[in-house]
Amino acid sequence: MGLLIDSSVLVAAERGRLHLQDVLAGSEDESVAISVITASELLHGIQRAKTVEQASKRQQFVDFVLELFPIIAIDLEVARHHARIWAELQARDEMIGPHDLLIAASALAFGYKVMTFNVSEFERVPGLNVLNPTHN
């Protein structure tokens, strides 16, 4: 089983709230990746920087992350999972954010766990294995 890292974990690492190597300790035998949605969220953070210095710091971190982790694209298999999860959550009136929905679908399509600080959102997704980085 692999591990899909959510942007909430990466943003916490970028802000110095946790050490990425500590979070990933014990995952050496697993594939670790990020969703293309997470890549987009990180890139969006650069665009929203309030200063040139902040943008530069974020750019360096995002470049590091994009080089470190493979990126899982949204393909037809992910779309199939996305449609099913969306319908199930909507029927239960337990929708989650659209980005989180795509990340969850990607994780299920590839058989990955999701590491996130947004545990309450992702735990609504049936069959998804969710990890909190501080409770690993």
Which tens digits make up the pLDDT trace of 84-116?
Answer: 999 999 999 999 999 999 999 999 999 999 999
Cβ-in-10-Å burial (0-12, 13-18, 19+) of 44 comes to exposed
Tokens describing residue 100:
């989180």
What is the number of structural domains in the chain?
A: 1
Q: Residue 17 sits in which domain range?
A: 2-131
How large is the average pLDDT for residues 34-56? Answer: 97
Instruction: Please indicate, yes or no, if residue 104 is contained in any of the structural domains.
Output: yes
Q: Give the integer Cα–Cα distance in Å for 40 and 102.
A: 12
Confidence of residue 23 (pLDDT cuts 50, 70, 90): confident
pLDDT at 16: 92
Q: Provide the mean pLDDT of the chain.
A: 95
Is pLDDT of 136 > 80?
no
Single pTM value for the model: 0.93
Instruction: Please indicate, yes or no, if residue 136 is contained in any of the structural domains.
Output: no
Question: Residue 115 belongs to what H/E stretch?
Answer: strand 112-115
Q: Give the integer Cα–Cα distance in Å for 132 and 80.
A: 26
Instruction: Please indicate, yes or no, if residue 10 is contained in any of the structural domains.
Output: yes
Q: What percent of the chain has pLDDT over 90?
A: 89
Contacts of 85 (CB under 8 A, 6+ apart): 101, 104, 105, 108, 125, 126
Look up the CATH number of the domain holding residue 53: 3.40.50.1010
Instruction: Please indicate, yes or no, if residue 114 is contained in any of the structural domains.
Output: yes
pLDDT at 39: 98
Is 74 within 8 Å of 106 (Cβ atoms)? yes
Phi-psi sector, 40: left (phi>0), alpha (psi -120 to 50), beta: alpha
Higher pLDDT, 136 or 39: 39
Which tens digits make up the pLDDT trace of 67-92?
Answer: 999 999 999 999 999 999 999 999 99
